[in-house]
Structure 1
Amino acid sequence: MAVLVTGATGLLGNNLVRICLEQGRRVKALVRSEADPDPLAGLDVERVSGELGDEEALRGAMQGVSLVLNCAGFVKIGWRELETARRVNVAGAAMLARMARAEGARFVHVSSVNTLALGRRDAPANESTPVAGHVPCAYVLSKTEGDQAIRDETDRGLDGVLVHPGFMLGPWDWKPSSGRMLLEVATYQPPLAPTGGCSVVDVRDVARGVLSAARQGRTGESYILAGENLSYFNLWRLMARRAGTRGPLTVLRQPVRGLIGFGADTWTRIRGHEADVNGAALRMGAQYHYYSSEKAQRELSYKFGSAEAAIDAAWEWFVSHGMVHEKKSRK
């Protein structure tokens, strides 16, 4: 029987494909027809063309599958494109889960820590912390609704678990996705960092945690797969040091942050296109997304390394693939 990986060209999905192949597993990869072929080039995987919500493609992908690792998702932090996000993150995920239930396949749904409560450095959030303070942007709303759709399917008999990764960095970030932050800090050397923080983790640690959840996670349970909790200021300083560039001098405080967000959202309404810098992104950047992975450590034997090691791994991969200049590397 095979493992089906959705989002197989993305950061987590591509790392999962490679680890599964190293373990001798048969892998099927669901990829969009327009997806970059490079992430799967030379890999012994069965490619299935399609996307979440494509019923015919999903039925074909599910044939002969005993485990589904659902890494696909629509990721954009902003106020717009909620219906697009719901089509993938809610309806598409629910359709795949229904098919997995019908086939009797094990199902691991990759959610996000952004659907959970906010934490503090002295009190990181866990899976049971009451949720409050979310920024109601398209990504957070749709991923939260998608989580509920998966829980509804587990109530109907799906053998499924949910995992909530932190801020992932590491190799095989082709797009790039979260590694884009590292590249932009290295390239633009921003003097101001966001006031909040996040939980930084090597994507390979998360991938191993996903496979542990597939093996021994309790059906219907959620597991945080996070890492080292850092302020964005300290994270960006680490990134700049690795790149050999100047780090931020201070943080972006109110009222400047609010004025920038208001201006960006006003410009969005005028031109009809939402930029990456928008009110939702700025508000989320001011929050502390600090998490405890103690439950996963206890039940899944989950382990994670330092944020600095994750940054090093991402940087070295970007350098080796020509996505950043070697001269910026730390000597």
Structure 2
Amino acid sequence: MTILVTGGTGFVGSAVVRALVARGERPRCLVRRGSDHRNLDGLDIEAVEGDLTDGESLAAAVKGAKVLFHVAADYRIWVRRPETMLHTNVAGTRRLMELALRQGVEKIVYTSSVAVLGKAAAGAPADEETPVCLDDMIGVYKRSKFLAEEEVRRLQRQAGLPAVIVNPSTPIGPRDVKPTPTGHMVLAAARGRIPAFVDTGLNVVHVDDVAAGHLAAYEKGETGQRYVLGGENLGLGEILREVAALRGAPAPRLRLPRRPLFPLAYAAETWARMAGGREPLLTVDGLKMAAKPMYFSSAKARRCLGYHPRPAREALRDAVGWFEQAGYLA
């Protein structure tokens, strides 16, 4: 049986590929030309070159596949040209799902994000049923993932797309080669370079638990349903102190209000555009998202999929250990 994984060179995608290989599968991995293949080195896989923006390469990759894990996405909090992210995440997902329908793929696990979920009142954890709409989405990444998930849901309703949706929270752990925006935060904290922070919170989950949740969704997930793949809700200050302690680095002590930081964020984004588009450390959307803790519940996945994530501190420990071993903290 041919299993296609998009985004296999990435952080979450490579964890899914490794979980499949560990179960004796030989997945087919869609890889972009020029992408970093380190996460796939030494794995028994079938690599096919392609891109979500190239329909011809997607058609070749999907041909003969019975199972599809669509993990690939452009994940950045800030982009110089938002239309490029929308083209990849929304149009690319729609194109891939339509091809999967035409080619008779039997089961699809689509990787969405908790970014598309609503926020519960009074800091309570949100879940799959928390009310939300497109206008609630802050920034192009959240909008792109919301619209992409809507495309999957539309094809489920109109054409019977055999897809299960998973919504990972904040994956942390080994093999974050890029690194992701969260990985950048962990690196900065491990180096003792975050003297202050904004008071918010995140749901932290080990990337390998997210991968295990993907396989559980394939085996036990119900078509048309979605499942939050989260871990532990922690305050940002608590996360940063834990990471700093793992390296013996100075922990941030100063908690900053958000409003005075907005002029700095606008200035940082302006400079980033002028300097070629590198993501600034401080962004307007990041400050807006920090207004409420991003806490979530994985009760449905635990109940329906047998999902059991490990403590968040193990994810932080494994992330710092991998960054250190890979030379990122030299």
Partner of 2:100: 100
1:126-161 deviations in Å (ceiling 9; x for gaps): 111112683531101111100000111111111001
Say if 1:12 and 1:268 are closer, same or farther in 2 by CA, change over 3 A. Answer: closer
Q: Which amino acid aligns with 1:59?
A: A
- Please, which of 172, 184, 188 is the counterpart of residue 184 of structure 1? 188
- Please, which of 274, 278, 281 is the counterpart of residue 286 of structure 2? 281
Q: Which amino acid aligns with 2:57?
A: A
TM-score (norm 1): 0.92
Give the whole-Å Cα distance in 1 for the aligned partners of 2:273 and 2:204. Answer: 33
Q: Is the contact made by 2:80 and 2:273 (CA closer than 8 Å) also made in structure 1?
A: no
Matches within 5 A, 1:210-229: 210-229=214-233
Segment drifting more, 34-43 vs 159-168:
34-43
Structure 2 residue 134 is matched with structure 1 residue 157 = no
**By how many angstroms is 1:305 displaced?**
1.2
Q: Which amino acid aligns with 1:236?
A: L
Give the whole-Å Cα distance in 2 for the aligned partners of 1:99 and 1:295. Answer: 30
Partner of 1:117: 118
Structure 2 residue 181 is matched with structure 1 residue 175 = no
Say if 1:209 and 1:121 are closer, same or farther in 2 by CA, change over 3 A. Answer: farther
Segment drifting more, 174-183 vs 303-312:
174-183
Give the whole-Å Cα distance in 2 for the aligned partners of 1:38 and 1:270. Answer: 31
Say if 1:321 and 1:78 are closer, same or farther in 2 by CA, change over 3 A. Answer: closer
Give the whole-Å Cα distance in 2 for the aligned partners of 1:87 and 1:160. Answer: 21
Partner of 2:129: 128
State the number of aligned residues.
325
SS at match of 1:25: coil
Give the whole-Å Cα distance in 1 for the aligned partners of 2:326 and 2:17. Answer: 19
Partner of 2:61: 61
Say if 1:121 and 1:202 are closer, same or farther in 2 by CA, change over 3 A. Answer: farther
SS at match of 1:65: coil
SS at match of 1:168: strand
Structure 2 residue 259 is matched with structure 1 residue 258 = no
Q: Is the contact made by 1:116 and 1:131 (CA closer than 8 Å) also made in structure 2?
A: yes
1:98-144 deviations in Å (ceiling 9; x for gaps): 11122232111111111101246852001111126835311011111
Q: Which amino acid aligns with 1:42?
A: G
SS at match of 1:259: helix
TM-score (norm 2): 0.93
Q: Mark the runs of 5 or more structure 1 residues left unpaired by the alignment.
A: 326-331
Q: Mark the runs of 5 or more structure 2 residues left unpaired by the alignment.
A: none
Give the whole-Å Cα distance in 1 for the aligned partners of 2:276 and 2:13. Answer: 32
Give the whole-Å Cα distance in 2 for the aligned partners of 1:64 and 1:291. Answer: 37
Partner of 1:19: 19
SS at match of 2:249: coil
Q: Which amino acid aligns with 1:77?
A: I
